Structure 1
Amino acid sequence: MRLLVAESEPPADREERRASVGRSSGETVRDLLSSLSPGASIDRATPADADGDVPDEATIAGYDAVFLTGSPLHVYDDTPEAAREIAFMRTVFASGTPSFGSCAGLQVAVAAAGGTVRPMGDRREAGFARRIAATQAGRDHPLLAGRAPVWDAAAIHSDEVESLPESATLLAGNAVTAVQAAEIRVGPGVFWGVQYHPELSLTEVAAALRRQASDLVETGLVRAESEIEDQAALIDALAEDPTRRDLAWRLGLDAELIDRAKRTTELRNFLEHLVVPTRAARGRG
């Protein structure tokens, strides 16, 4: 199986994340895919970069799946980075290769297909998105197969989907962000995406909170950065020992997020229910 991971992070944000947790977003996704699909050949591309080696449509068609990562990128900004990301996603749709995206990856796909993305103002989902629920369409959709009726997920974002394109199906939402999961079809392309982060470990959630501490104080989610450190320390401790029921209780988390297999449900479902059948239909076995 050949997989392509597209880094949505611009170069400076990639390096900041590496300094924080030792991996860029794309490297996190690559490492997880290596464990979910042993033996897969996994390449990385950097479509946001001015000098990025971006594959063309024919090259993308040679892959079995494309994964778009999270990023601080704002797709509604008139910047070269955003324009390059959206152009890349349109090429992915045209190639017919199944694609998956989380957080900014979903937002890029929405913009590429004609939908809109907006800033959330002072609202935030910081650390965890709570009480996500499938829509009627989502309850029968293979992306969410095996999910509890209501679940929490790793999430940290300041932008959200404002309107889905006509070619999309809303699969899940919650009280904070109406679009938490969606399917988008454009031409021969099929995209499954989520606003949250099934690829993130608890350690990476804690690191993300620390990186964005000043923003969370500014928006009034906490009163001081020390409160972020207290929360991040609890998350780190639970990551070190997931059997700590006391920490799970204090953080309000259950197995849907603590258990790695459950946490990565959407990625595993994408591989099993979309990538493998599409690969077979293409005669790749």
Structure 2
Amino acid sequence: MAESETPEARHERRESVGRSSGETYLDILGKLAPGAACDRIKPVDADAALPSGMSLAGFDAVFLTGSPLHLYEETAETRRTVAFMRSVFASGTPAFGSCAGLQVATVAAGGTVRANRRGFEAAFARRITPTEAGRAHPLLAGRPATYDAPAIHTDEVEVLPPGAMLLAGNRVTTVQAAEIRFDGGVFWGVQYHPEIGLDEVAGAMRRQADGLVKAGLARGKEDVEAYASQVDALHREPTRRDLAWRLGLDQQITDERLRLAELRNFIGALTRLGREGLLAGDR
């Protein structure tokens, strides 16, 4: 589990929802792959290191979390994170990432990232539509013709790396899901957040309330709080049809099993094909 949040963002997220992005991933992986041994590292930190005696090639998979990093900015943190992802590709260990994880893999493999041209995509990515390739790809198995997913991001993939496969997009963000192959490795990723629950969506909105107001998505922080409170309420009572109707959500988000589709599919592919099968491009 590669957590690319900065220490400051890690602290802010824990203050907001009680866990960092990496801790959320570890909790979800514990549900999807009970008994699996998971290690968490922080490639954004200057003192980040793998567990003693371990190499990236010794892992079955690498998962990349979301992050507030802007990959088009040249900083020590972005350099360390991109270098780590290049090492993952070179190791041949299959990887999965959400939100900034997709952006990190894109830049590491030669693509580009930019600020969202169509504005802030906040709370939920709406009407995500698989491409023809995406409809046949195991990453999106079980997803309907269009679906919504938790999402909050101000950056997007501008150009995918050479040879990458676009799997899904929507009106706001062209690249919502992709497969990237580079330097002997394979990465499956999404721009949205299948790993986070509605409580974390509400927390993200509150943390980024100023940005939502600045983007014109809310008149003031009180509007953000009113929306976040409804999302929180639906988290506590996911079968409340009135709240789901008010928020325009269906079971693709309110049902955890359906929301976790991409993570479950990636782990299932590892189990079914093994890393060699994924690297060979079997479908």
Considering the TM-score relative to the shorter chain, is it more than 0.5? yes
Is the aligned partner of 1:151 residue 2:147? yes
Aligned pair 1:231/2:224, yes or no?
Answer: no
1:187 equivalent in alignment to 2:180: no
SS at match of 2:180: strand
By how many angstroms is 1:281 displaced? 6.1
Distance of aligned partners of 1:280 and 1:179 in 2 relative to their CA distance in 1, 3 Å threshold: closer
Given residue 266 of structure 1, which amino acid in structure 2 is its aligned partner? E
- Could you tell me which runs of 5 or more consecutive residues in structure 2 were left unpaired when the two chains were aligned: 279-283
Q: 1: CA distance between counterparts of 2:206 and 2:212? A: 10
Give 3-state SS (helix, strand or coil) of 1:6's partner: coil
What's the C-alpha RMSD, in Å, of the aligned pairs? 1.7
The Cα of 1:187 is off from its aligned counterpart by 2.4
The 5 A counterparts of 1:71-82 are: 71-82=67-78
Check 1:121–1:177 CA distance in 2 against 1; reply closer, same or farther (3 A cut): closer
How many residue pairs are counted as aligned between the two chains? 278
Is the 8 Å Cα contact of residues 65 and 275 (structure 1) preserved in structure 2? no
Task: Name the counterpart of 1:270.
Answer: 266
**Per the alignment, in what secondary structure is the counterpart of residue 152 of structure 1?**
strand
List per-residue Cα deviations over 1:134-172 (Å, max 9, x = no partner).
000000000000001100000000000000001210000
Bigger proportion of residues as strand: 1
Shift of 1:173: 0.1
Aligned positions of 1:1-285 closer than 5 A: 5-54=1-50, 59-120=55-116, 123-274=119-270, 276-279=272-275
Question: Residue in 1 aligned with 2:281?
Answer: none
Tell me if the contact between 1:70 and 1:102 (Cα under 8 Å) persists in the aligned partners.
yes
**Does the Cα contact within 8 Å between 1:68 and 1:102 map onto a contact in 2?**
yes
Percent identity of equivalent pairs: 62
TM-score normalised by length of structure 2: 0.95
Aligned 8 A contact 1:144 1:269 in 2: yes
Per the alignment, do residues 222 and 147 of structure 1 end up closer, same or farther by CA in structure 2, a change over 3 Å counting? same
Which 10-residue stretch deviates more, 93-102 or 51-60? 51-60
- Distance, in Å, in 2 between the alignment partners of 1:130 and 1:275 is 31
Structure 1 ranges of 4+ moved more than 2 A: 54-58, 279-282
Conserved in 2, the CA contact under 8 Å of 1:57 and 1:92? no
